[in-house]
Amino acid sequence: MKENYQKIDAQTFDLKIIYTWIAAHKKDFFYVLCNNAKDYMKKVVNSLTLIEAAGGIVKNEAGEYLFIYRNDKWDLPKGKIEKGERVKQAAVREVEEECGIMVNELGKKVCKTYHAYISREEVVLKKTHWFKMKSNDKSKLKPQKEEGITDARWFKKKKINTITENTFPSIMEVLVEMDLVKDKATLLSE
């Protein structure tokens, strides 16, 4: 498959303006040409409303990983950090609330991801902090329906392709960091 790469100059890039174009071209790739990626990312983050969230990739005693189904996509449990709440506390709380299980162990930070979306007619940027977690809770998973979660399931590593076929790019980043899937760019070009 031949990718469709679009070059966007950093001087003219404004995520507030270009977001609808990006959303309409989900199969295309684009890159921003800039001198310093870290400084440029700070500029983009500062130009938008930033929402901080936290979540986890939870592994059970059987070696399975926890996923939720929300907005017609497979996702990982996560949610907004409440005022005065620590990032790690928010990650555990959100996993427990969204899936109805107890987290027994909070591990190391996996990565942080960014994704943009429209809220109240404004482009916002969500920064999510991801953590490894373990649960030995054997109770039945209870998807948090009021959060739009219609399913919560454990998946073996060899069945992760079910997730990769229908998930968000930011979730793919977490799966790559966890070595649950091969390089994201390779997956996208298959």
CATH number for the domain that contains residue 74 = 3.90.79.10
State yes or no: pLDDT of 185 exceeds 80: no
pTM here is: 0.85
Given phi > 0 = left and psi -120 to 50 = alpha, else beta, which region is 148? left
Length of the chain: 190
Q: Are residues 82 and 25 in the same domain?
A: no
Q: Are residues 35 and 119 in the same domain?
A: no
pLDDT computed for residue 132 by the predictor:
98
Q: Are residues 91 and 147 in the same domain?
A: yes
Quick one: pLDDT band at residue 77, thresholds 50, 70, 90? very high
Query: Averaged over 51-55, what is the pLDDT?
Result: 97
Up-side HSE of residue 167: CA atoms within 13 Å toward CB?
25
Q: Are residues 176 and 128 in the same domain?
A: yes
pLDDT tens across 7-47, in order?
777 777 788 887 887 778 777 777 888 888 899 888 888 88
Dist. CA 190–CA 158, nearest whole Å: 18
Q: 44, 37 in Cβ contact below 8 A? A: no
- Structure tokens belonging to residue 61: 């005693």
Q: Are residues 63 and 154 in the same domain?
A: yes
State yes or no: pLDDT of 141 exceeds 90: yes
Q: 27, 17 in Cβ contact below 8 A? A: no
Structural domain boundaries, residue 116: 50-189
pLDDT computed for residue 85 by the predictor:
97
Cα angle at 189 between 124 and 176, to 5 degrees?
A: 60
Q: 54, 19 in Cβ contact below 8 A? A: no
- In the chain, the number of structural domains is 2
Judged by average pLDDT, the poorest of 32-36, 50-54, 88-92 is 32-36
Q: Are residues 185 and 155 in the same domain?
A: yes
Query: Averaged over 88-101, what is the pLDDT?
Result: 98
pLDDT computed for residue 118 by the predictor:
86
pLDDT computed for residue 2 by the predictor:
46
Q: Are residues 80 and 117 in the same domain?
A: yes
pLDDT computed for residue 1 by the predictor:
39
